[in-house]
Amino acid sequence: MLSRTSILALAFTLPGFANAQSTNSAGAAAVEPEIVVVTGSRIPRPDLTGTSPVAVTTGAQIALDRAVTVEDFSAKLPQLAGGVKSTAVGSDAYGAQTLDLRNFGQNRTLVLINGTRATPFSFRNAVDVNAIPAALLKRVDVLTGGAAAVYGADAVAGVVNFIIDDEFDGLKVSANYEHGKGGGSSYGVNAAYGLDLAGRGNLVVYGEYSEREQLLAGKRSWALRNSTPVASSGGNYTDVASGRTFSFDAAGNFANGFQTTDYTKDYLLVQPMTRTNVSAFGKFDLTEKLELYGRAMFSNVVSTGAPRAGQVPVVISENVTISATNTIIPASARALLTFVNGNATVNVQRSLSELGVKTAETDRTTTQFQAGLKFKITDNVTLDGYAQSGKVEEDTTVSGDGIRLSNGASRFGALANTANIFKAGTPEIAALGSPIVRDIRERTVDVAAITLTGTTKDLFSLPAGPIGFSLGYEYREDSGSIDHSAEQKSGASFNQGAETAFKGSFDAKEVYGELLIPILADLPFVQRFDLEGAYRTSDYSNAGKYDTDKIGLAWEINDSLKLRATQQSVIRAPNMGEFAGALSSIPFANLVNVARLRPRYPGDPCALGTGNAAQCQRFGYKGTYDSFNPANLTGQYFFGGNKDIKPETGDTKTIGVVFTPEFVSGFSATIDWYDMELRDAVGQVQPVDALTSCYITDPSANNPLCLAVSRDPITGYIKDGFVNDRNLAVVAQKGFDVGMQLVRQIDNWDLIDKMTLSYQANIVTDYSIQRNAALKPIDCKGTWATNCSSDLVSTVQADYKHRAAVTLSGDVWTFQGGWQRIGDLRNSTVGGTGTIPAFNYLDVNVSWKSDRGFTVNFGVDNLTDKKPPLPNNPSLFNTLPDTYNVQGRTVGLSVTWRR
């Protein structure tokens, strides 16, 4: 039986959790409390609360949300920032979904499955949680405030622990469908079978298939505003000898003036995806003292998004030679050409619509195998050892691009006299297209660990009880590689730039320990007072030796009030891309052509008249030009790793109160204050930061950021950008997590017998980022824009987020109304203006259970069909799709049968 305080860790829980409290009849023998392991500690304890704040989402709530993927419920949790998800069309995560706690970045959030590491993908340490079976989750624990001493590197902002229901018994079959207007609909089917193994263990087997349709920007009118058209698919032509110009529109009609075509309607707003998951979880008592356990997980995800060059079709701007004998030339065009010795030189600016908009299809397979043994040395001491191997393999195929000639010249010019280049839809131009395989990525993480846990009850106890302890060793080996096709390595494509292959590996050897010391118990105003400590020493082959520690206090005053506090150090070792990533590049012009990249380049302050005149002259500016014209940006945007990079280090503090007043039946509340600071945070000096600092805010000759963007020595135009990873930043945040729940029994109602009110919120009181010692810290609290993004993914830094719900439940029916709120924001860009008001999203859920094993869940998300905000400094499609709902109202239905 669980003690009354067992419900406290679940005060954050959304409805769906049934409160449990201890009962002990008069005269009955005392019942030993159930010993459990909580997220944030390896020490078994008699209740579900520890010193670290943990927010819990139950499997019942996940089912009520009709979750096909983790994104379907995680997007509503206030502790999580936008991160990478289905709307991150141009991200190099290529269809993955990652989690970002506190806006500290996806690579600073550790993802666990049943308390052990999930396998990251690609060169970063983020995990694609698409590989986790949402339908089989018993609960999800979100621990914020860091946990490096307990779980190791990467648990900087905290931990998300996915607890699989590995004791499921019986058969469960489910089907889900979520309808979105115009596209973006998703559906899935899954089945789980749990088998009891003669009372000595159990085996759970799970299989799932799901699909998500694409949603094109053309289906949302707000996404088409302020779109950027490019040169017409019919083409714009200039006779070089005479300067005469003419053009053809997309329909092939002769015209004067520059003609354009807007392809925005064909761009992806939500990425399509197909997914297959197969998993098995099991445990078996070999003897009374020895348990064998393990898991096998397989996931294949195929998604389509955008490559780094964006989705706009290839646009060429080049001189071609047209022969006077060419019979394809329209008469209207021939009259404007100057033929010298039978040839005319013509400058052509044309989009190659025949190749289609560019897309990137990624095929990602994730596997993870784990096997472990638990040996019960005594009733109070257990030795647990496991080995785990995980691998992620993926490749991305880019369509809609083409290959240049071996000398780097376009193949378009060769068609000038054999194909009708003056008309859209020319088959010969379509033949220039060639699929390009890039980012053939592989990541392998092998882990072996052995841990001794228990209490000193067999040997001694303090007056307040036995000491809990955990002592262990972990070895982790991490390797990865990225390869590309030959044309991608050489930069031979029209738009993809050049990518360099690389391989990297490192290992970590770690010794860790924890103590839970009961100091006082059963005294006035001290029902229980515990001291908790943790220490880990880590030896990284790529970074050296580092130690992390934790100290925590838990003071249970009485059944109604508990205080808790922690202070700990955290570390994040450099990931594969940061210390081993090779130098790669994309055309600098992509920072203008690709909507996702535009916030990284503000234009040339010298050409715009906003830069310091003396500084402009000092660094080679020669005169006015259009610094947003891609034709004037002929250089490269270089990025990659840094072998000299160091680990990030930091400190976190939390102070909290857990309140379950006996005088208010069914009420529980938690308030936790946190303070996190990360030093030497890995980042890049983006052109927007370098140009603003160099020419506007600190126009001094020795400003080091001036070297991050170069100029062409002949023209004086902006040329190259250099954004290699460096230890640059200090990221700091303070705030509160608040959770409340009130459960009331209701009498004399036919359909329901209980009402639950729940509320969980994140309130940020301070948040700042200092990108570089040469830059002043930026006040990022309650803002949006990339200069306040810790990883250039999550662009919204809300200072207030909550989800509240009212649930009416009974034996058969459950009715729930949910309210998600995102606080108001201001533009953090230097010189930027504008605000975004607070946004509210409403959803409703209804569940019906039959006595034949069927459960039907019906719901509507974004009930009022709220459109996303359209700020003056958006990240993509005029809005901020990492945070705000771009799908609109969706209606969903799930049917589950269980026996």
Query: Which H/E stretch holds residue 202?
Result: strand 201-212
Instruction: Enter the DSSP assignment of 543.
Output: T
Please check whether residue 506 is in contact with residue 454, taking contact to mean a CB–CB distance below 8 angstroms: no
Query: Is residue 508 scored above 80 in pLDDT?
Result: yes
756: number of Cβ within 10 Å: 23
Query: Is residue 7 scored above 70 in pLDDT?
Result: no
What is the rounded distance in angstroms from the CA atom of residue 635 to the CA atom of residue 476? 41
pLDDT band at 34 (very low <50, low <70, confident <90, very high): low
**Chain segment 282-298, per-residue pLDDT in tens:** 999 999 999 999 999 99
Indicate the residue type of 211.
Answer: E
**3-state DSSP assignment of residue 693:** helix
**Chain segment 359-410, per-residue pLDDT in tens:** 999 999 999 999 999 999 999 999 999 999 999 999 999 999 989 887 778 8
Mean pLDDT of 26-44: 58
What is the rounded distance in angstroms from the CA atom of residue 616 to the CA atom of residue 602? 15
Handedness of CA 563, 567, 573, 575 (dihedral sign): positive
4-219+271-308+361-401+435-580+644-684+723-898: in CATH 2.40.10.10: no
Mean pLDDT of 147-161: 90
**3-state DSSP assignment of residue 523:** strand
The ranges assigned to domains in the chain are: 4-219+271-308+361-401+435-580+644-684+723-898
Please check whether residue 147 is in contact with residue 161, taking contact to mean a CB–CB distance below 8 angstroms: no
Please check whether residue 815 is in contact with residue 846, taking contact to mean a CB–CB distance below 8 angstroms: yes
> Which residue has 């998004």 as its token pair?
305
Query: Is residue 33 scored above 60 in pLDDT?
Result: no
Query: Is residue 229 scored above 50 in pLDDT?
Result: yes
Residue-level pLDDT at 36: 59
Tell me the CA distances in angstroms from 273 to 285, 612, 734, one per residue in order.
Answer: 40, 49, 37
Query: Is residue 522 scored above 60 in pLDDT?
Result: yes
What is the rounded distance in angstroms from the CA atom of residue 749 to the CA atom of residue 192? 35
> Which residue has 């490192």 as its token pair?
506
- Check residues 817 and 47 and name the one with the higher pLDDT: 817
Of 145, 146, 149, 159, nearest to 674 by C-alpha is 145
Q: Which two tokens stand for residue 888?
A: 């609109």
DSSP assignment of 435-500 equals -EEEEEEEEEEEEEEEEEEEESTTT--BTTBPPEEEEEEEEEEEEEEEE--HHHHHT-BSSS-B--
Residue-level pLDDT at 415: 93
Mean pLDDT of 818-841: 94
pLDDT band at 21 (very low <50, low <70, confident <90, very high): very low
Measured in whole angstroms, the distance separating CA 53 from the mean position of its chain's CA atoms is 22
Please check whether residue 649 is in contact with residue 680, taking contact to mean a CB–CB distance below 8 angstroms: yes
What is the rounded distance in angstroms from the CA atom of residue 789 to the CA atom of residue 774? 18
Measured in whole angstroms, the distance separating CA 636 from the mean position of its chain's CA atoms is 27
**Chain segment 419-432, per-residue pLDDT in tens:** 999 999 999 999 99
Q: Which of 45-49, 498-502, 588-592 has the lowest mean pLDDT?
A: 45-49
Residue-level pLDDT at 8: 31
Mean pLDDT of 752-769: 96
pTM above 0.75, yes or no: yes
Long-range pairs for 488-492 at CB < 8 Å and ≥24 separation? 488/436, 488/437, 488/438, 491/585, 492/403, 492/404, 492/406, 492/408
Count Cβ atoms within 10 A of the Cβ of residue 27 and give its class: 0-12 exposed, 13-18 middle, 19 or more buried: exposed
Residue-level pLDDT at 48: 52
Residue-level pLDDT at 121: 87
Query: Which H/E stretch holds residue 566?
Result: strand 561-572
Give the CA angle between residues 632, 635, 640 to the nearest 5°: 145
pLDDT band at 476 (very low <50, low <70, confident <90, very high): very high
> Which residue has 């160091």 as its token pair?
646
Helix, strand, coil percentages for the chain (3-state, nearest 5): 10, 45, 40
Measured in whole angstroms, the distance separating CA 515 from the mean position of its chain's CA atoms is 34
Nearest 10 degrees: Cα torsion 619, 620, 622, 627: -70
What is the rounded distance in angstroms from the CA atom of residue 525 to the CA atom of residue 555? 9
Of 299, 307, 459, 268, nearest to 364 by C-alpha is 299
> Which residue has 């955990």 as its token pair?
470
According to the per-residue pLDDT averaged within each range, which of 307-321, 431-445, 595-609, 879-893 is highest? 879-893
Alpha helices in 597-705 (DSSP H): 605-608, 613-618, 687-692
Q: In the structure, how many helices (H) and strands (E) does the chain have?
A: 11, 45
Alpha helices in 257-343 (DSSP H): 331-334
What is the rounded distance in angstroms from the CA atom of residue 815 to the CA atom of residue 751? 10
Mean pLDDT of the chain: 90
Of 500, 473, 475, nearest to 486 by C-alpha is 500
What is the rounded distance in angstroms from the CA atom of residue 386 to the CA atom of residue 293? 9
DSSP assignment of 725-788 equals -EEEEEEEEEEEEEEEEEEEE--S-SS-SEEEEEEEEEEEEEEEEE--TTSPPEE-TTEESGGG
What is the rounded distance in angstroms from the CA atom of residue 832 to the CA atom of residue 692? 12
pLDDT band at 554 (very low <50, low <70, confident <90, very high): very high
Query: Is residue 257 scored above 80 in pLDDT?
Result: yes
Residue-level pLDDT at 46: 61
Of 616, 614, 634, nearest to 624 by C-alpha is 616
pLDDT band at 262 (very low <50, low <70, confident <90, very high): very high
Mean pLDDT of 480-492: 89
Of 313, 341, 65, nearest to 176 by C-alpha is 65
Alpha helices in 361-444 (DSSP H): 427-430
755: number of Cβ within 10 Å: 18
Q: Which two tokens stand for residue 865?
A: 């069909």
895: number of Cβ within 10 Å: 15
What is the rounded distance in angstroms from the CA atom of residue 333 to the CA atom of residue 254? 8
**3-state DSSP assignment of residue 129:** helix
Measured in whole angstroms, the distance separating CA 317 from the mean position of its chain's CA atoms is 37
Residues recorded for the chain: 899
Q: Beta strand pairing status for 813-822 and 800-809? A: antiparallel
Q: Which of 8-12, 790-794, 877-881, 885-889 has the lowest mean pLDDT?
A: 8-12
Residue-level pLDDT at 4: 31
Give the CA angle between residues 778, 781, 785 to the nearest 5°: 65
Mean pLDDT of 451-472: 96
Please check whether residue 169 is in contact with residue 202, taking contact to mean a CB–CB distance below 8 angstroms: yes
Q: Which two tokens stand for residue 222?
A: 């707000």
- Check residues 168 and 8 and name the one with the higher pLDDT: 168
Q: How far apart are the two ends of the chain, measured CA to CA in Å?
A: 26
In DSSP terms, 727 is beta-bridged to 682
Query: Is residue 270 scored above 50 in pLDDT?
Result: yes
**Chain segment 618-673, per-residue pLDDT in tens:** 999 999 999 999 889 999 999 888 888 899 999 999 999 999 999 999 999 999 99
Please check whether residue 358 is in contact with residue 312, taking contact to mean a CB–CB distance below 8 angstroms: yes
Give the CA angle between residues 569, 573, 576 to the nearest 5°: 160
> Which residue has 């309808």 as its token pair?
179
Mean pLDDT of 343-369: 96
Give the CA angle between residues 782, 786, 791 to the nearest 5°: 100
What is the rounded distance in angstroms from the CA atom of residue 806 to the CA atom of residue 801? 17
Q: Beta strand pairing status for 718-722 and 636-639? A: parallel
Tell me the CA distances in angstroms from 591 to 207, 628, 711, one per residue in order.
Answer: 42, 9, 16
